[in-house]
Amino acid sequence: MSKRLDMLETVIAKGSQDPFVHYARAMELRSLERLEDALAAYQEVMRAFPDYVPTYLMAGQVAEQLGRMEEGRAALEAGIAAAQRTGDGHALGELRGLLATFD
């Protein structure tokens, strides 16, 4: 386990409601190539912080890496809705772009 992951998990265990901390934990799991854990962590972020738009693209990418295309498609579609809801045009384009490769 990495020191960064340990630190992030400690902050989360103390009750952090900062979506970035939870997202950073998922990113760290991904960087450690713990893809199943990373996808589960991204899904937790999507449930707890549905307007934290970057999560959806990362979840879609990891699901794709794992060959779980339906989960990836669902994450991207939810991300498109979140990007529209929050007015994040840049993320909207990235999400749509990745989703187009799933077809």
Instruction: For each of the domains in the chain, give its residue range(s) and CATH number, in order of start.
Output: 3-101 (1.25.40.10)
Instruction: Return the residue matching tokens 């989360």.
Output: 12
Mean pLDDT (whole number) for 71-92: 97
Report residue 27's pLDDT band, with 50, 70 and 90 as the boundaries: very high
Whether 103 has a pLDDT exceeding 90, the answer reads no
Neighbours of 61 (CB within 10 A): 19
Confidence tier at 1 by pLDDT (50, 70, 90): low
Q: Is the pLDDT at 29 greater than 90, yes or no?
A: yes
* Predicted structure pTM score: 0.94
pLDDT at 34 exceeding the cut of 70: yes
State CA 103 to chain mean position distance: 21
Average pLDDT over residues 35-40: 98
